A and B are shown apart, each in its own frame.
Chain A
């Protein structure tokens, strides 16, 4: 019984899936979600000062009054006007470089993207126009961090790199319908909406074991340190050195 109660409290504490949604980010410079909810006083100054009217007030619910950017209707153009105005520090006011913003990361869905369909799956425009393949590259052209956040692979189709800040202009401009071929996944989301309760439980356990101070040198590694060690296992860049066990013939008979 107590265990059940504990589980319920844990479930409530971990929050609902309402915390994060695809194509819904906080304004640039926002601190992490939990601290943002504590610090944001819903004064809506960021909303008022936004010259592109990108920032929208959240509607009914626990987050009422807090600012959001809905990338599908209007992306953020990274003018950085809002961060400097935040009176409480919910948006980091020292931030004025658009490249250091961490609102999220864009992700291209290759099953919908025109360029990917055209180049990888050889889909050409058919008469029904349900699936179109074309060299579109709109996201590449509108990206504020062009050639850094979105690059053209083989000079042909767009690929999102780690420099993406999640502004969502590509989502706003993506021509596919009804579902956009590119999505912004907000920072801290980790696709929690698609995972279940046990995933979130495991995630909280993982976050608890993150602190490396509690880990003894003799103990098996866990958490982030284990991941660090695993990422070190990488064959790229190093060429394996081994001796050929046979002698290379200097010439082949009959070929010269």
Chain B
């Protein structure tokens, strides 16, 4: 159920990153911009990681910079990492890579990164992406150029869509998307989102304990409830939802809730529906 809604929302976002430049060519400016920074009829919204870069690179904290990052951070406080799970076109692409992986049987290829490798561990994945974010931000502050913007995958994807619509070509940055797609197809699925994405890292920091999140209703949360360990096998972020349902990596996609044969997992948020009501 959630997956179906998610596909609809992701398709709409994917269509919009092509439709907005077309509308702008016909001088309809209701929505302008790319996924680096958008403007919905006056409401300016910018990628918080990008804003963080600009703050450190310019060495100044101005009102326009802060106000642009305010809305996405508010969404993160209320809904967690919902941007990544439900809207980000790059995760859509990564899930496409996963689908292709199943189709061509890439799962049976010799695995370089097995389950036991450290990057599969959620703690190590979190450590990697925060190290990447910190290093990139420090470098941006040192050389006064927002370097992480060069590798902002959703931003690049939407910019390339705009360039394609306007000029019928793509720029060199499209190579990054292609490289990431191939790497995710062959070596490590969801590699970018789990290990590097600076936007996701900043959004994760702002998720709150009372916002939307997945909780486990099982009595004990140390070992899997069912023998198949369904939730762990479907989680796109490589988590074990029965144990670390509230992990920073969780994108609120709802796959584990759908897959759970016992109904032990549920969304919870704003304390509208108490945890015991599901039982």
Tell whether A89 is near chain B: CB-to-CB under 8 Å.
yes
Given contacts A38-B58, A48-B34, A64-B150, contact A57 B171 (CB under 8 A): yes
Given contacts A38-B58, A38-B144, A38-B146, contact A87 B68 (CB under 8 A): yes
Contacts of B46 in A (CB 8 A): 41, 43, 87-88
Q: What number of A-B contacts does a CB cutoff of 8 Å give?
A: 100
Name the distance in Å between B116's Cβ and chain A's nearest Cβ.
Answer: 39
Tell whether A208 is near chain B: CB-to-CB under 8 Å.
no
Contacts of A156 in B (CB 8 A): none
Kindly state the separation between the CA atoms of A1 and B20 in the bound complex, as whole angstroms: 56
In the complex, which residue of chain B has the Cβ closest to the Cβ of A41? B50
Binary CB contact string for chain A from 40 to 52 against chain B (1 if under 8 A, 0 otherwise): 1111110111010
Contacts of A87 in B (CB 8 A): 33, 37, 39, 44, 46, 64-65, 68
Contacts of B36 in A (CB 8 A): 41-44
Contact of B172 among A45, A59, A62 (CB under 8 A): A59
In the complex, the answer to whether B29 meets A41 with C-beta atoms within 8 Å is no
In the complex, the answer to whether A89 meets B65 with C-beta atoms within 8 Å is yes
In the complex, which residue of chain A has the Cβ closest to the Cβ of B58? A38
Tell whether A223 is near chain B: CB-to-CB under 8 Å.
no
Contacts of A65 in B (CB 8 A): 149-150, 159, 173
Interface residues of A in 39-80 (CB under 8 A from B): 39-45, 47-49, 51, 53, 57, 59-60, 62, 64-65
Tell whether A14 is near chain B: CB-to-CB under 8 Å.
no
Contacts of A53 in B (CB 8 A): 166
Tell whether A34 is near chain B: CB-to-CB under 8 Å.
yes
Kindly state the separation between the CA atoms of A72 and B175 in the bound complex, as whole angstroms: 29
Tell whether A37 is near chain B: CB-to-CB under 8 Å.
yes
Interface residues of B in 143-181 (CB under 8 A from A): 144-146, 149-150, 155, 159, 162-163, 166, 171-173
Tally of chain B residues near chain A (CB < 8 A):
38
Name the distance in Å between B58's Cβ and chain A's nearest Cβ.
Answer: 4
Contacts of A64 in B (CB 8 A): 150, 171-173
Given contacts A34-B144, A49-B32, contact A41 B162 (CB under 8 A): no
Interface residues of B in 64-82 (CB under 8 A from A): 64-65, 68
Contacts of A59 in B (CB 8 A): 171-172
Tell whether A93 is near chain B: CB-to-CB under 8 Å.
yes
Kindly state the separation between the CA atoms of A211 and B145 in the bound complex, as whole angstroms: 26
Interface size class of A (residues with CB under 8 A): 20 to 34
Contact of B32 among A38, A57, A85, A89 (CB under 8 A): A85
Kindly state the separation between the CA atoms of A62 and B145 in the bound complex, as whole angstroms: 9
Name the distance in Å between B230's Cβ and chain A's nearest Cβ.
Answer: 41
Contacts of B58 in A (CB 8 A): 35, 38-39
In the complex, the answer to whether A88 meets B54 with C-beta atoms within 8 Å is yes
In the complex, which residue of chain A has the Cβ closest to the Cβ of B35? A43
Kindly state the separation between the CA atoms of A45 and B58 in the bound complex, as whole angstroms: 19
Kindly state the separation between the CA atoms of A44 and B62 in the bound complex, as whole angstroms: 20
Tell whether B260 is near chain A: CB-to-CB under 8 Å.
no
Sample of 22 A–B contacts (CB below 8 Å) = A38-B57, A38-B145, A39-B58, A40-B146, A41-B146, A42-B149, A43-B33, A43-B34, A44-B34, A45-B34, A48-B34, A51-B27, A53-B166, A59-B171, A64-B150, A65-B149, A65-B150, A85-B32, A87-B44, A87-B46, A88-B62, A89-B64
The 10 lowest CB-CB distance pairs between A and B, nearest first, are A43-B36, A38-B57, A43-B37, A38-B58, A87-B37, A45-B33, A38-B144, A41-B50, A87-B68, A87-B46
